[in-house]
Chains A and B, each alone.
Chain A
Amino acid sequence: MDTNSNRQEHLTPRPTREGQGGGSAFFNPEFETLSRTEIEALQLERLKETVAHCYTNDFYRKKFDEAGITPDDIKTLADVRKLPFTTKQDLRETYPFGMACVPIRDCVRLHSSSGTTGNPTVILHTKKDLDEWANQVARNLWMVGLRPDDVFQNSSGYGMFTGGLGFQYGAEKLGMLTVPAAAGNSLRQIKFIKDFGTTAIHAIPSYVTRLYEVMQQEGVDPRRDTKLKVLAIGAEPHSEEQRKRIEEMMGVKAYNSFGMSEMCGPGVGFECPEQNGMHFWEDYYIVEIVNPETLEPVPDGEIGELVLTTLCREAMPLLRYRTRDLTRVLGRTCPCGRNHVRIDRMRGRSDDMIVLRGVNIFPIQIEKILMKFPEVGTNYLITLITEDNNDQMIVEVEVNEATDDFAKLQALEKEIRHQLGDEILLKPIVKLVAKGSLPVSEGKAVRVVDKRKVFE
């Protein structure tokens, strides 16, 4: 597809407020099709507003004073780097309302995440914040071909978890019939899918797999017995191989969604039909990728920590929020006609990063390679040891398919080691272990055991 002509074609029709989207491929064409120059001009304008708005809050004013800056110091977009970072710790310390930039009576919603350590965190929303949030989600769902005729089943947790209400409001804003199925009760989910003619589902990837297992047990073939055409998956780290597996199982495209309750929730980033990274909406956020240790920006393509600045939030704008998510910039243009930055799927958390002999390694890199081998399971355990003053990585992986042939086991071990070596740039020791002998990982299970000696 020719990039330029495609973009031109969609630039012309400017839909009315009433029929947002209309026959266009864009839900908000006036924002989605901005050129890079236009995006950056808009960002600077909105950054200035946001910074001035933050300056009215005591917490931010104190931070600005400590950094020796005032809102007047923001003259160019690059000046965003003069701003102090905001962290989850800041949210905890100002719990519950210390970072509100509007009176609480102007807020209409609160989402709180429970803290495993210390205070929980609170995110406040005004009416406008909720509407902007819903707009981002609607924009995403429209982007992957959903229209008001579609039936959207949100099989995501509700309550404080933003994946519930976030997708609910977004799907409704688009105009779809929206089913708040919530998570769990797979038999009921399948009944809904069939009875209501569900065409799109949002769920965490592991739940889609579960749903498919139950469909199989019930003799339901998603291709034959349902009208499904789109899956939105997110809120759980997964690899490209896992996504492909899900697409094959369900017979539909699965689009990766990025959300974060601190920003609002889902909506922040979403894949377009090109599936070449998630477009992060730069009319809503300034996206930076920084080295988690030096906090300096890294070049496009290099992995670093995602840092986000909100540009449209009233109740709780966040400046340079350190997400702890590791990812990279894939590009800033796209054949789909959107020039909003394309961000790779999350590569784990900056807290999970392993530094071994000076090389940065993320557990998801290991997972990605292991997924290529059907002979082994997806459970794995990384152990770091010191042997003869040398730090080593041991990767234990479960044998899923037995063989009568020793040579095959040895070749498998060798091939895994070789491919891991190519991926993480140093060769680990690979150990094949019996099926079921490693702890089952549920989401954020401990996959890394560090037994290295700190001093020699």
Chain B
Amino acid sequence: MTVHQLSIFIENRSGTLIKVLEALKAANIQIIASTIADTAEYGIYRLICSEPMRACEELKKANVAVALSDVFALAIDDKPGRAADAVKTFSEAGISIAYMYSFLLRGKGILIFRTDDNEKAVKVIADNQLQSINEADLSELA
């Protein structure tokens, strides 16, 4: 139901992002999706990748501050309005979404998001027969 996401502290100055990407490249880790959220001074670089546990270890070895977190991943049809439907389901259930990003994978839209109430979110996904995907699905698709 959830997938591992790496959250990396980065600074808004040149060189800090490249250090992360170089370390992943050297470890032969494939980035599936990523996004940067930032303030004026610093940001959190979030990414979904192959072998997240190993990626995390490799980054720590490269002296990068990284945290592993669990985020929800939903597969939706690649059609207009599907993302809106999914988000609406959660908001109607009173669950707020901290952040969300999406990407296309093999003709499927993938929504990655974090909620303030994971237990409730699991229930909403089951009740509404939303198609959640896990780590294995993701690596299969990638």
Q: Which residues of B contact A437 (CB under 8 A)?
A: 11, 16
Complex Cα distance, B100 from A204, in Å, reads: 50
- Tell which of B37, B65, B114 touches A434, judged by Cβ atoms closer than 8 Å: B65
Counted as pairs of residues, one from A and one from B, with CB atoms less than 8 Å apart, the total is: 55
The interface stretch among A29-37, A78-86, A112-120, A394-402 is: A394-402
> A404 and B65 in contact (CB under 8 A), knowing A432-B9, A434-B11?
no
Confirm or deny: B64 has a beta carbon within 8 angstroms of a beta carbon on chain A: yes
Q: Which residues of A contact B46 (CB under 8 A)?
A: 404
For the complex formed, measure the closest distance between the CB of A133 and the CB atoms of chain B, giving whole angstroms: 44
Complex Cα distance, B114 from A431, in Å, reads: 27
Is A433 a contact partner of B11 (Cβ separation < 8 A)?
yes
Is B67 a contact partner of A403 (Cβ separation < 8 A)?
yes
Confirm or deny: A369 has a beta carbon within 8 angstroms of a beta carbon on chain B: no
Q: Which residues of A contact B67 (CB under 8 A)?
A: 401-404
Confirm or deny: A455 has a beta carbon within 8 angstroms of a beta carbon on chain B: no
Interface of A, secondary structure class, is loop
* Interface range, B side: 20 to 34
Confirm or deny: A435 has a beta carbon within 8 angstroms of a beta carbon on chain B: yes
Q: Which residues of B contact A434 (CB under 8 A)?
A: 9-11, 16, 19, 42, 64-65
Within 8 A of A (CB), among B1-38: 5, 7-11, 16, 19, 37
For the complex formed, measure the closest distance between the CB of A82 and the CB atoms of chain B, giving whole angstroms: 55
Is A402 a contact partner of B9 (Cβ separation < 8 A)?
yes
> A432 and B41 in contact (CB under 8 A), knowing A409-B9, A437-B16?
yes
Is A404 a contact partner of B63 (Cβ separation < 8 A)?
no
Is B9 a contact partner of A435 (Cβ separation < 8 A)?
yes
With A402-B65, A434-B65 known, 7 other A-B pairs at CB within 8 A are A401-B65, A401-B67, A402-B9, A403-B67, A434-B11, A434-B16, A435-B63
- Which A-B residue pairs are the 9 nearest by beta carbons? A404-B7, A402-B67, A402-B65, A404-B69, A436-B63, A435-B65, A399-B9, A402-B9, A434-B11
